[in-house]
Amino acid sequence: MTDAPAIRHGGCLCGAVRYEADWPPEALVLCHCTHCQKQAGSALSVVAALRRDALRIHGTLKTYEDRGTSGQPVWRKFCPECGSPVVTDTPAVEAQGMIFLKAGTLDETADLAPTLHYWTQSAQGWFPFDGQIACQKTQ
Ligand SMILES: [Zn+2]
Ligand SMILES: [Zn+2]
């Protein structure tokens, strides 16, 4: 027996894009940056950092080239049919052999256990921080 990772499945709202991800990820964080809020239409993004070979995508994502605070490109990839954001990538993340999955698109999310809040300086005021998860004002 090998201790192969569990595989999680997920996809966009309409199902045109599906993926498998080896689980658990290297990290699972919550991003309250204004760009994640805009793209998700929500308070935050749930972001899983995965090794690139741990994420296998079926279907075609469209890329919106955003800019991070560092001025570097941020490739926000989404389903062109239904608009669900699925992947975020940057040159630095790519160089590390990693990729960011929008973990809110997993089929099963009930047991997700994020360990860090990023960009809490732009968090929506109503968000009920519980003090249990570490916070960083920026990234
Ligand atoms: Zn879709
Ligand atoms: Zn963000």
Domain that holds residue 87: 6-135
Chain Cα centroid distance, residue 118: 12
Measure 56 CA to ligand 1 centroid, in angstroms.
Answer: 16
The per-residue pLDDT for 63 is 98
Q: How many domains is the chain built from?
A: 1
pLDDT class of 70 with cuts at 50, 70, 90: confident
Measure 117 CA to ligand 2 centroid, in angstroms.
Answer: 10
Let me know: does 104 contact 47? Beta carbons within 8 Å: no
Q: Which residue has the tokens 């040159």?
A: 91
Q: Kindly tell me if the per-residue pLDDT of 3 is higher than 70.
A: no
Dig out the tokens for 2 from the structure. 């090998």
One-letter amino acid at 109 equals T
The per-residue pLDDT for range 8-57, each reduced to its tens digit, is: 999 999 999 999 999 999 999 999 999 999 999 999 999 999 999 999 99
Is 100 inside any structural domain? yes
CATH number of domain containing 108: 3.90.1590.10
